[in-house]
């Protein structure tokens, strides 16, 4: 190992030049992107500390908060993602990485409850396995930006149950894969399936992020929604939600995930040929939404 240090001009740490002193310690030949990211992080963090001038006790409490955030995280609960969500950072990163032309379906956060390898279901199948909630028939079409239908597109769907919990949160109560499924569009780009009307629910509040929300005077609720990941060969996949318009938390989503274009219209309707075939033989909720994909770059 070569322990020879490069001779560089000394930059001694002072309150005034703190960020300069720290950035100067990075080697000039370190990864360029890492240097850019860490230089910006150091500048902004030091500016933040200089602005608020925390006491030793306050900074100690900050370190303790971050420690507890890591300690409560598990395989299916990532408290740091939750922290990123409630500060709006998750949605900002999503927006930066999903700039699309007008008319394309907008994205929103993935959320912490997505599960891989969900069952492939026939069009018209019922996602609800616990029998709770008001039936809803969801249908739509997947097209390109010019309106061409996309056959064979995959629609990965999941939502909470009528009590506001996902199956992974109630593994001892809900059937496995309750309110989850994967569908494939027909030759005309159509999809349809049966589920239950989504409802609002709180994000986990028993950890440090929940306590922070409470201290800031904010509620923990997410407005009622259904999750979707729509993908097709040759197109950029879309991770998004559809929100129902009669939810009281649309304008104050705890994780800032609502976009106006993702508020779907629902109405109570009589059975159609498709919903009858899906087992809905009386009045039920109906949601229709078309997804527009853009070509893969």
Residue 5 is predicted with a pLDDT of 53
> Are residues 152 and 97 part of one domain?
yes
Report how far residue 44's alpha carbon sits from residue 264's, in angstroms, rounded to the nearest whole number.
39
pLDDT in tens, 72-90: 998 778 899 999 999 999 9
Q: What is the CATH number of the domain that holds 213?
A: 2.60.130.10
As a whole number, mean pLDDT of residues 58-63 equals 98
pLDDT over threshold 70, residue 235: yes
pLDDT in tens, 174-199: 999 999 999 999 999 999 999 999 99
Strand 238-243, strand 225-231: pairing: antiparallel
60 lies in a domain?
Answer: no
> Are residues 101 and 49 part of one domain?
no
pLDDT in tens, 254-290: 999 999 999 999 999 999 999 999 999 999 999 999 9
228 lies in a domain?
Answer: yes
| E strand intervals along 124-188 | 135-144, 154-158, 180-184
User: Hey, CA dihedral for 163, 206, 255, 291, is it positive or negative?
Assistant: negative
**Which of 17, 34, 53 delimits the end of a domain?**
53
> Are residues 84 and 38 part of one domain?
no
Find the domain containing 5 and state its range. 1-53
> Are residues 109 and 207 part of one domain?
yes
209 lies in a domain?
Answer: yes
Residue 8 is predicted with a pLDDT of 63
pLDDT over threshold 90, residue 3: no
User: Hey, CA dihedral for 76, 81, 86, 88, is it positive or negative?
Assistant: negative
> Are residues 199 and 164 part of one domain?
yes
pLDDT over threshold 90, residue 215: yes
> Are residues 134 and 44 part of one domain?
no
Instruction: State the total domains in the chain.
Output: 2
- Residue 59: phi and psi, rounded to 5, are -70, -35
73 lies in a domain?
Answer: no
- H or E stretch covering 38: helix 32-52
90 lies in a domain?
Answer: yes
Q: 0.85 cut: is pTM over it?
A: yes
As a whole number, mean pLDDT of residues 94-122 equals 94
As a whole number, mean pLDDT of residues 204-229 equals 97
> Are residues 175 and 32 part of one domain?
no
> Are residues 105 and 7 part of one domain?
no
34 lies in a domain?
Answer: yes
**Which of 36, 53, 70 delimits the end of a domain?**
53
Is the CB of residue 192 less than 8 Å from the CB of residue 124? yes
> Are residues 132 and 244 part of one domain?
yes
240 lies in a domain?
Answer: yes
> Are residues 34 and 104 part of one domain?
no
> Are residues 121 and 44 part of one domain?
no
Mean pLDDT is lowest, of 6-10, 34-38, 100-104, for 6-10
pLDDT bracket for residue 31 (50, 70, 90): very high
107 lies in a domain?
Answer: yes
> Are residues 96 and 208 part of one domain?
yes
As a whole number, mean pLDDT of residues 150-171 equals 95
């Amino acid at each position: 190992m070569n322990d020879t240090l490069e001779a560089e001009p000394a930059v001694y740490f002072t309150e005034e030049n703190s960020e300069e002193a720290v950035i100067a310690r990075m080697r000039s030949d370190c990864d360029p992107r890492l240097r850019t990211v860490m230089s910006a992080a150091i500048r902004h963090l030091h500016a933040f500390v200089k602005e608020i001038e925390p006491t030793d006790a306050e900074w100690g409490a900050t370190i303790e908060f971050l420690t507890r955030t890591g300690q409560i995280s598990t395989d299916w609960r990532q408290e740091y993602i939750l922290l990123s969500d409630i500060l709006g950072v998750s949605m900002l990163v999503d927006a930066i990485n999903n700039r699309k032309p007008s008319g394309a379906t907008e994205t929103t956060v993935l959320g912490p409850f997505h599960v891989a390898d969900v069952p492939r279901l026939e069009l018209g199948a019922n996602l609800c396995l616990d029998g709770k909630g008001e039936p809803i028939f969801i249908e739509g079409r997947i097209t390109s930006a010019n309106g061409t239908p996309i056959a064979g597109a995959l629609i990965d769907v999941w939502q909470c149950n009528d009590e506001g919990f996902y199956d992974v949160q109630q593994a001892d109560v809900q059937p496995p894969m309750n309110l989850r499924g994967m569908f494939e569009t027909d030759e005309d780009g159509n999809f349809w399936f049966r589920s239950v009307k989504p409802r609002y629910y709180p994000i986990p509040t028993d950890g440090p992020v929940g306590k922070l929300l409470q201290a800031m005077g904010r509620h923990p609720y997410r407005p009622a929604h259904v999750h979707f990941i729509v993908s097709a060969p040759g197109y950029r996949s879309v991770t998004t939600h559809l929100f129902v318009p009669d939810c009281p938390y649309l304008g104050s989503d705890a994780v800032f995930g609502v976009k106006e274009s993702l508020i779907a219209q629902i109405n109570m309707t009589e059975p159609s040929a498709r919903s009858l075939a899906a087992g809905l033989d009386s009045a039920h909720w109906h949601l229709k939404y078309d997804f527009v994909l853009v070509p893969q770059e």
